[in-house]
Amino acid sequence: MILVSGPEQFLADRSIRQLRDQLVAEDPRLEINDIEADHYAPGQLLTVASPSLFAEPRLIRVSNVEKCTDAFLLETLDYIENPADDTYLVLRHGGGVRGKKLLDALRGGAGGAIEVICLELKKDTEKLDFAAAEFAAEGRRVSAGALRALVQAFQDDLAELAAACQQLLADGDAQITEATVEKYYAGRVETTAFKVADSAIAGRHGEALILLRHALASGQDPVPIVAAFANKLRTMAKVSGNRASSGELASRFGMAPWQVQKAQRDVSSWSDEGLGNAIDLLATTDAAVKGAERDAVYALERMVSVISRRGDLR
Amino acid sequence: MGVWSNLTGQNEAIRTLQAAASHDPGNRAMAHSWLITGPPGSGRSNLAYAFAAALLSRGPDDEDATLRQVQARSHPDLAVLATELVIITIDQVRELVKASYYSPSVGRYRVVVVEDADRMSEHSSNVLLKALEEPPVSTVWILCAPSEADLLPTIRSRVRSLGLRVPSIDDVAALLRDRDGVDPETAVVAAREAQSHIGMARRLATDPEARARRRQTLETALSIRSTSDAVIAAATLLAVAGEDAKSFTAEHDEEERKAALRSLGVAEGGTVPPALRAQLRAMEDDQKRRAKRGLHDGLDRILVDLLSLYRDVLLLQLGAAGEPINDSIRPALESAAGASTPATTLKVLDAISTARTRVDRNVSPALVLEAMLIAVSRHAVR
């Protein structure tokens, strides 16, 4: 009995796949059944788990245990008390409190269950480790620069990162370097609205426009982009007139001290009037991207230009 | 005449409606569809319900009882469409159109009242056209909207329009005095500060917190000197608008939730079974939409208050005749007038009306206020 828990669907899928491959290798007669716990009808589990004439081993994969029906919960609790022989039950639980009784029973060792925890990889270092392990599993050498470039290019989706690693493994050279990654994935930059805002506020007009285009091309919506700019400029405006220390300002405006310090650094090259112009334009742009003007992208570019000039309306 | 009392300063309109509702067999003043227009707070919907009561009653003796039923919205021949959300949906209108084809069950007429007819989208309005043009003989439509321009021309041409005046400050003050027992001095100030909006005047007169919030708004605006001030002030004003909205909705939301739980048979404090959660969620979504409308209304009140403030400043700068609306903070008005020119004041007034259109366009409230207050911050620095 195996419990696959945690929010990262990609890792969960992969571990279930590996388990299946392993079992098929052991005995090719393996019979596989899928159950969706959120549409579970009473008796289903018992039907697929009851012994058959030729006694094939079987694998029962249950998805959506986090949304399971009451019937599923009751019957599974019964089942783990006396599991069937030669039957592997894999429960996929995506996180949450539903089915806690079942989880507790399994974690308590009922039926000799093991748990595979699939946590989300949030930090870049974790993703670097993940990619390095991908290459190491195939026994291939990869340079640190190449790993960094890969992780940079695929920040949002772990599945994409893994797929990219597999691609490089499948047709790359013995030694995977930065040049290889460049050849395959050059120009692909995943960016966020905040990065666009940062580079515009710092006055790097060209870079900001390129990032803006990247952000739009990789599916960012104009409205949150404007919101990110507004957030940045609002913080800058709040700290601009104040001589107090960053700690004091942070507590007054309910922000983290590093946010205040960053805003103070950003605002040092801005004039009060420029800041005013920029915020006024933001309001116009917000209206524009919500339908007041026909071309939302043009409105965004105009906003990025004015903000890169630090609010000079020229 | 019980039906028509409690309506302030609309004598001409009342005369017209009285003639229309008269039981005289030779009555030729009646029309099948009416549009009552007037500025917010002039008592449009109250007048509409008074008219509805007069139409529904079976005779002068029956009027008071009918009025009570109308006010409780429980009269069998009355259909009402009002909304606390931002728009009226097309399904609500369809339902209403269907209801309008029934014959009256007790009175002479079946009456359909649409408050906030301006909140219908073009689509929903089109659903009304047929029903408005040729209702059954005994059905009367009464629409209410701030102005004729808020409705489609195709609707306008199908209704008889009746415009209301802005009631005078003395009328509103007298109403506050007589109906709510407010002392005369407060009543006059509240009526003036609410710019004759009856509902607002009543809140200002009876709720000291509402008065304090309004004053805080004006003082905040006058103290802005830089972009930094403007952004911080915008946060303050947004909080004021939020509180304003909350004071309207919070209590109501809680009551609604309790009533819903009771009707679903869930004990107070008990857990809600999963099968019922969808219903509660639908209610919460509605409440969220209502909160958004509340915030928009709160913002609009702030903007109207600021409009009155800079109108006063302009009045003083031009030396025009007329009483400042915000007479209570006259010294502050005078110093603001001295520190700027009529041209810059006009710019601020422009910025405020731009802000009002932006609220309508669903621009983020914080940005609307910030952009407007930045214009305000440039007012005084000359």
Residue in B232, B361, B374 nearest the CB of A290: B361
Per-residue pLDDT, A172: 65
Q: Which residues of A touch B363 (CB under 8 A)?
A: 283, 286-287, 290
- Mutate one of A225, A240, A272, A289 to test the B interface: name it (highest B CB count within 10 A): A272
CA distance B53 to B70: 6
CA distance A66 to chain B (A): 14
| Distance in Å from the first CA to the final CA of chain A | 69
**What ipTM goes with this model?**
0.75
CA distance A286 to chain B (A): 6
Sequence-separated (6 or more) residues with CB below 8 Å from residue B205? B176, B180, B182, B186, B187, B190, B191
Q: Which residues of A touch B231 (CB under 8 A)?
A: 234, 237-238, 279
Q: What burial letters (b/e) apply to B274-286, b meaning 16+ CB within 10 Å?
A: eeeeeeeeebeee
- Mutate one of B223, B226, B227 to test the A interface: name it (highest A CB count within 10 A): B227
Which residue reads 């310090």 in tokens? A261
DSSP state of B61: G
Per-residue pLDDT, B132: 86
CA distance B204 to B305: 12
Residue in A237, A284, A290 nearest the CB of B228: A237
Q: Which residues pair with A116 in a beta bridge?
A: A4
CA distance B220 to chain A (A): 15
Q: For residue B141, give the nearest of B162, B123, B121 by alpha carbon.
A: B162
- How confident is the prediction along chain A (314 residues), in pLDDT tens digits per residue? 788 888 888 888 888 888 888 888 888 888 888 888 888 888 888 888 877 777 788 888 888 888 888 888 888 888 888 777 788 888 888 877 787 888 888 787 766 778 888 887 777 788 888 888 888 877 777 778 788 877 877 777 788 888 888 888 887 667 777 777 777 776 666 677 888 888 898 889 998 998 899 888 888 899 999 999 999 999 888 888 777 777 788 888 888 888 888 888 888 888 888 899 999 999 999 999 998 889 999 999 999 999 999 888 77
CB pairs under 8 A between A and B: 68
Contacts 24+ apart (CB under 8 A), A186-192: A188/A153, A189/A152, A189/A153, A189/A214, A190/A152, A190/A153, A190/A154, A190/A155, A190/A156, A190/A214, A190/A218, A191/A215, A191/A218, A192/A220, A192/A228
CA distance B10 to B164: 6
- Mutate one of A38, A221, A234, A310 to test the B interface: name it (highest B CB count within 10 A): A234
| Distance in Å from the first CA to the final CA of chain B | 59
Per-residue pLDDT, B350: 93
Residue in B362, B364, B374 nearest the CB of A230: B364
Please return the burial class of A129, using the count of CB atoms within 10 Å of its CB with bins 0-12, 13-18 and 19+. Answer: middle
Q: Which residues of A touch B362 (CB under 8 A)?
A: 290
Per-residue pLDDT, B382: 47
Is B259's Cβ below 8 Å from some Cβ in A?
no
Closest chain B residue by Cα to residue A280: B371
Residue in B231, B358, B368 nearest the CB of A237: B231
Q: For residue B309, give the nearest of B272, B273, B351 by alpha carbon.
A: B351
CA distance B159 to A195: 56
CA distance B272 to chain A (A): 15
Q: For residue B71, give the nearest of B21, B6, B139 by alpha carbon.
A: B6
CA A267 to chain centre: 32
Is B381's Cβ below 8 Å from some Cβ in A?
no
Task: Tell me the residues of A at the B interface, defined by beta carbons under 8 Å apart.
Answer: 227, 230, 234, 237-242, 272-273, 275-276, 279-280, 282-284, 286-287, 290-292
- Mutate one of B223, B224, B226, B228 to test the A interface: name it (highest A CB count within 10 A): B228
Residue in B227, B363, B375 nearest the CB of A275: B227
Question: Across the interface, do B227 and A242 touch by the CB < 8 Å criterion?
Answer: no
* Residue B149, amino acid: A
Strands lying side by side in the sheet with B33-37: B78-81, B110-114, B139-145, B33-37, B160-163
Average pLDDT per consecutive 10 residues, chain B (382 residues; last block may be shorter): 70 83 75 86 84 85 84 86 79 87 87 87 85 87 88 88 85 84 85 84 85 87 86 88 78 81 77 78 84 84 90 89 82 85 90 90 90 86 52
Q: Which residues of B touch A282 (CB under 8 A)?
A: 367, 370-371
Question: Across the interface, do A241 and B366 touch by the CB < 8 Å criterion?
Answer: no
CA distance B205 to B172: 11
Per-residue pLDDT, A228: 92
Per-residue pLDDT, A281: 93
* Residue A296, amino acid: A
Q: Are B179 and B6 in contact (CB under 8 A)?
A: yes
Q: Which residues of B touch A283 (CB under 8 A)?
A: 358, 363, 367-368, 370-371
Is B378's Cβ below 8 Å from some Cβ in A?
yes
- Mutate one of B224, B226, B229, B231 to test the A interface: name it (highest A CB count within 10 A): B231
Residue in B227, B231, B370 nearest the CB of A283: B370
- Tens of pLDDT, residue by residue over B176-226, are 888 888 888 888 888 888 888 888 888 888 888 888 888 888 888 888 888
Per-residue pLDDT, B330: 84
Residue in B235, B368, B378 nearest the CB of A283: B368
Question: Across the interface, do A280 and B377 touch by the CB < 8 Å criterion?
Answer: no
Closest chain B residue by Cα to residue A278: B371
DSSP string for residues in B73-136: T--TTEEEE--SSSSB-HHHHHHHHHHTTSPPSSSS-EEEEETTGGGB-HHHHHHHHHHHHS--
Question: Across the interface, do A234 and B370 touch by the CB < 8 Å criterion?
Answer: yes
Question: Across the interface, do B227 and A273 touch by the CB < 8 Å criterion?
Answer: yes
Count Cα atoms within 13 angstroms, Cβ side, for B211. Answer: 16
Q: Are A106 and A5 in contact (CB under 8 A)?
A: no
Q: Which residues of B touch A239 (CB under 8 A)?
A: 228
In percent, the amount of chain B with pLDDT more than 70 equals 97
CA distance B66 to A14: 71
Please return the burial class of B241, using the count of CB atoms within 10 Å of its CB with bins 0-12, 13-18 and 19+. Answer: buried
CA distance A41 to chain B (A): 17
Per-residue pLDDT, B6: 67
CA distance B77 to B52: 10
Which B residues 218-257 touch A at CB under 8 Å? 226-232, 235
